Amino acid sequence: MSSSDLLGIEPLELKFPFELRKQISCSLLLTNKTDDHIAFKVKTTSPKKYCVRPNTGTVSPRSTCDVVITMQAQKEMPPDMQCKDKFLVQGVVATPGIAAKDITQEMFTKESGNKVDEVKLRVLYVAPPQPPSPVPEESEEGSSPRASEGEAKSLTRYATSRRAPMESEDSSSEVASMISRLTEERNVAIQLNKGLRQELETLRREVGKQQAGNFSFIVVVFVALLGILLGYFLKK
């Protein structure tokens, strides 16, 4: 590949990630290495296959220009991913302020007397990047599908073994609830029994008072009878 004293060109190989039925673009950077205005023209051996924007123009002194090259969608895969297409970048010193429409093909011929720099570029097709293959979650490197199935079975057995304790826990919860309910009923019964005992004690006291009153009446009657009898015997 030749080099240019007027323009720096990057890259010198145009790489297209080839995909069927898809337009693919790449960029070409032109750098003016001089203090003059440089006119450029980009040519290709397959003009119907590629679209170049811009294909002609000027680059100001010590500045750059981006050229976008787009390959049209292809219907067939090239044999062995090989491409024979070529590009040619031409550059000449131009008059300051020249417009792109004033740049002609004659400016890039040796007959014009201009110093024409030419750089040839190759086209390469590269395979598009492949997405990473899916990796099963929670799997270790080098593990086999059988190992994954074994892990799944182990998890199933573990879940089954955990089910019984969970059911036991539910039963324990029901027993605890029943004990709490029975405890409350016992406390109520104790309070009720205590109230009944108090009422019974009250009744006993009232009965005792009534019995004491009856005893006094009997004593009075007995003393009266005794007095009568003594009076009767004294009279005799």
Q: Could you state, in order of their start, the residue ranges of all structural domains in the chain? A: 7-126
Torsion of CA 89, 87, 15, 6, to 10 degrees: -10
Helix (H, G, I), strand (E, B) or coil at 129: coil
Does 66 or 193 have the greater pLDDT score?
66
Instruction: Give bridge partners of residue 124 from the DSSP assignment.
Output: 15
Residue 119 neighbours by CB distance under 10 Å: 19
Edge-first strand order for the sheet with 64-71 is 7-10, 24-32, 64-71, 50-53
With tokens 């190759």, the residue in question is 122
Helix (H, G, I), strand (E, B) or coil at 6: coil
Please tell me the predicted confidence (pLDDT) of residue 156. Answer: 63
Torsion of CA 89, 91, 97, 99, to 10 degrees: -40
Residues 6 or more apart in contact with residue 156 via CB below 8 angstroms: none
Mean pLDDT, all residues of the chain: 81
Most confident of 2-11, 173-182, 210-219: 2-11
Answer yes or no: is pLDDT of 208 > 80: no
Give Cα separations from 113 to 6, 89, 231 (angstroms).
16, 18, 186
Rounded to whole angstroms, the Cα distance separating 36 from 24 reads 33
Rounded to whole angstroms, the Cα distance separating 138 from 121 reads 49
- pTM (predicted TM-score): 0.55
Query: What is the average pLDDT across 74-100?
Result: 93
Amino acid in the structure at residue 173 = S
Q: What's the sign of the alpha-carbon dihedral 128, 82, 48, 25? A: positive
Q: Domain 7-126: which topology?
A: Immunoglobulin-like (2.60.40)
Please tell me the predicted confidence (pLDDT) of residue 188. Answer: 73
Rounded to whole angstroms, the Cα distance separating 191 from 199 reads 13
User: Tokens standing for 197?
Assistant: 């005992």
Confidence band for 195, pLDDT divided at 50, 70 and 90: confident
